[in-house]
Amino acid sequence: MAGCGSDIDTPTISENDGQAMLAPASTEAQINALILAEAARQVGTPNSTSGNCKVWVQNLVSKATGKWIPQNDSCALYQWKPSSTVRIVWQVKFACVGSFSNNLKPGQIMQIQWRSNYMNGCEHTIILQSISSSSISYYEANAPVGGPVRNMTTKLINWQAAAWTVYQILP
């Protein structure tokens, strides 16, 4: 398809996926559930991070899981680096809607790097709630800047002009 890119990192699945563990929040699914619960709790409340979506996600993850994910403030260095706290599970540059991975899970973090002048070409950071063949539901903060935390659903076709990186917070 013209104008479509490709995966630059193949999806990966943690060795802990689907395995029963004894400690609280010891699986990725449990971590994701904690993140989703905190995001849902914050819907409608003002974003207290001066409109910065990445800082909002960072603070939410810390509050929900006790995990800290370092972030870069520069638009050119928008991605978090894989660490003992976070790993990249999927990354695509300027791909078609059909490229959305079936491995994406609710509670994972997505950063969208815009190709256009929207958001000055910088990224937007969201928490995935669900993905279907035609739409994506997510939690976000800073649209409008300083506005309330929102739960949004958008048609995937509207997100075609972007690059995506999806992160999994690790147990």
| Cα distances (Å, whole numbers) of residue 102 to 68, 81, 88, 131 | 27, 23, 15, 9
Q: Give the pLDDT confidence score for residue 123 in this predicted structure.
A: 76
Task: List the beta bridge partners of residue 155.
Answer: 135
Q: Give the pLDDT confidence score for residue 32 in this predicted structure.
A: 97
133 contact partners, CB below 8 Å, separation of at least 6:
156
Q: Give the pLDDT confidence score for residue 11 in this predicted structure.
A: 36
d(C-alpha 103, C-alpha 147), whole Å: 31
Q: Give the pLDDT confidence score for residue 103 in this predicted structure.
A: 77
d(C-alpha 40, C-alpha 149), whole Å: 9
Residue type, 74: S
Query: Domain boundaries in the chain?
Result: 26-169
Q: Which CATH architecture has domain 26-169?
A: Alpha-Beta Complex (3.90)
d(C-alpha 112, C-alpha 121), whole Å: 10
Q: Say if CB 170 and CB 84 are below 8 A apart.
A: yes
- What string of pLDDT tens digits covers the 171 residues of the chain? 334 444 443 333 333 333 333 345 789 999 999 999 999 999 999 887 666 888 889 889 999 999 988 766 555 455 677 778 889 888 887 666 556 677 789 999 998 876 655 555 567 889 999 988 888 899 999 766 678 999 999 887 776 656 788 999 999
